[in-house]
Structure 1
């Protein structure tokens, strides 16, 4: 493994339950967390110790998404629906009841919020009309994670039926069904240049797909247990994965080689499953959230 120095900058506390949701703000020094306690908290990397509560909901929060164009935060409120927060004034603008299922992911593109739920549905919400536009039933198993390819105008969706399905967003028609995982797909991301799609999940394997022809390019046995999430650095040179095995791993995007392991033994890392990570566009730190109720901020020197 190549020489990468890791420095743990901060451990942030405040949530009273497992932290499941994490997303970067429209201004990248801000990020937002959501947890099993129903709390959604805003954090500022310039003053990370002082989180600000912006929503408290009766049920757990698994999914958050920022609408950069409108400066809104969408909160996936499990067993209920979507709450929309104005990030200028940190107040709720509107909400929509839409499901009695878990909301596992939200992605926003071209004024439409795509919501993935535990019943295999993708629900499309028109953010200007504040209304449901369409529902697509794509599987009998949970829709767990999504990734948008804006160049090809496609949406990739990872399911608990072990597949990744690709939607053409021009007409919302499925155009590919990627098979190969042997269990639920939890992690999914396009490279910043949109050339490849990487998936991971409960089988602890990473699969690297060509984004244009959907052919499998490579496969890596990446973790001991389920891969919960993956994120690219914004220059595309590296990506990171996090796992139920309590580790974060840093990989080369070019050849998919392991470069660094960040864990409890070596770096005072998380003590339980790491659920989400982002690679900050603001300062290139990695932010991670865990079942241990903590948020960690890591500085990497390559």
Structure 2
């Protein structure tokens, strides 16, 4: 079902961020190396340093032909993938930016991070439209509902705060985790929100009411990413415990564990980020061991 295909080496420091390219056969990685790297899925090899950065990169986000590069300094670089140049630099956050998402129907970019504040930007001219405080410390992750009507924020105090995307009014607080919420995704079929935390648990919140449906003891340590397959009923999780797990997205049955401890290929340090390729053929993972691993998936 899922097998190790290739390990891409070259980063000299821990890697925190992955994003697909605007092209189907390429993706980007970044972390403490002060540069964003482009890789080819066709040749399974390094392509180039896409752009140098001034500080560590905590998040990458691709929207159409734009790549948003969120940094420890608080700056967010907007890189045009067609023109191959920096188009804008977004400056508001006073500390590291941990997540970037787009709300397409509103032509907005939403960012958050270590300062506990959300900033909303225009996709048209990259101006700052709005900002509001969420908590005194870190907001780690953002999820946008499928209809783009709701924005969920995973916070350091263990609470998920859900906002209306029209006016950014707080509509719900979900208290289920004991520690910081570190991963958050709406399911592709729109029936639930799933969260992962430093408490190593997955929580499944039924929609539209956000009632707690499932608590899954998923990992030994923090859950750092949740990634739904683009077309099939599976999702993957990765953790500080150095394992990747593949789950059924309807029954939450565990199908596969990828870990050196389980005698499969795997990472030898914390796994910080994971994405599926656009066509769903590959799962890509990375972390503190400075390796980028590509896994081939067959249903």
TM, length-normalised to structure 2: 0.95
Query: Partners in 1 of 2:146 and 2:298 — Cα distance?
Result: 30
1:216 aligned to 2:212? yes
Q: What is the match of residue 278 of structure 2? A: 281
Shift of residue 50 of structure 1? Answer: 2.3
Q: Which 4+ stretches in 1 moved above 4 angstroms?
A: none
**1:203-232 deviations in whole A, cap 9, x for unaligned?**
000000013101001110000011011100
Of the three residues 93, 100, 104, the one matched with 1:99 is: 93
**1:219-261 deviations in whole A, cap 9, x for unaligned?**
1000001101110001250110000000000011111111100
Query: Partners in 2 of 1:134 and 1:103 — Cα distance?
Result: 16
1:301 aligned to 2:298? yes
Shift of residue 31 of structure 1? Answer: 1.4
Of the three residues 58, 67, 79, the one matched with 2:73 is: 79
Query: Partners in 2 of 1:80 and 1:300 — Cα distance?
Result: 36
Query: Partners in 2 of 1:172 and 1:28 — Cα distance?
Result: 33
1:28 aligned to 2:29? no
Q: Which moved more, 1:123-132 or 1:277-286?
A: 277-286
- Segments of 5+ residues of structure 2 without an aligned counterpart are none
What is the DSSP-based 3-state SS (H/G/I as helix, E as strand, rest coil) of the residue aligned with 1:170?
coil
Q: In 2, are the aligned partners of 1:15 and 1:39 still within 8 Å (CA)?
A: no
Q: In 1, are the aligned partners of 2:101 and 2:109 still within 8 Å (CA)?
A: yes
Q: What is the match of residue 206 of structure 1? A: 202
Query: Partners in 1 of 2:176 and 2:102 — Cα distance?
Result: 27
Shift of residue 44 of structure 1? Answer: 2.2
Query: Partners in 2 of 1:58 and 1:242 — Cα distance?
Result: 28
What is the DSSP-based 3-state SS (H/G/I as helix, E as strand, rest coil) of the residue aligned with 1:51?
strand
Q: In 1, are the aligned partners of 2:281 and 2:298 still within 8 Å (CA)?
A: no
Q: Which moved more, 1:290-299 or 1:151-160?
A: 151-160
Query: Partners in 1 of 2:280 and 2:46 — Cα distance?
Result: 18
Shift of residue 283 of structure 1? Answer: 4.3
Report how many aligned residue pairs link the two structures: 296
Q: Which moved more, 1:13-22 or 1:260-269?
A: 260-269
Q: What is the match of residue 146 of structure 1? A: 142
Q: In 2, are the aligned partners of 1:54 and 1:91 still within 8 Å (CA)?
A: no
**1:110-151 deviations in whole A, cap 9, x for unaligned?**
221111111211111112122111111111121101111131
Q: What is the match of residue 269 of structure 2? A: 272
What is the DSSP-based 3-state SS (H/G/I as helix, E as strand, rest coil) of the residue aligned with 2:46?
coil
Query: Partners in 2 of 1:276 and 1:204 — Cα distance?
Result: 15
Q: In 2, are the aligned partners of 1:226 and 1:244 still within 8 Å (CA)?
A: yes
What is the DSSP-based 3-state SS (H/G/I as helix, E as strand, rest coil) of the residue aligned with 1:269?
coil
Query: Partners in 2 of 1:44 and 1:115 — Cα distance?
Result: 28
Query: Partners in 2 of 1:25 and 1:195 — Cα distance?
Result: 28
Shift of residue 152 of structure 1? Answer: 5.2
What is the DSSP-based 3-state SS (H/G/I as helix, E as strand, rest coil) of the residue aligned with 1:47?
coil
1:88 aligned to 2:86? no
Q: In 2, are the aligned partners of 1:23 and 1:278 still within 8 Å (CA)?
A: yes
Query: Partners in 2 of 1:236 and 1:142 — Cα distance?
Result: 33
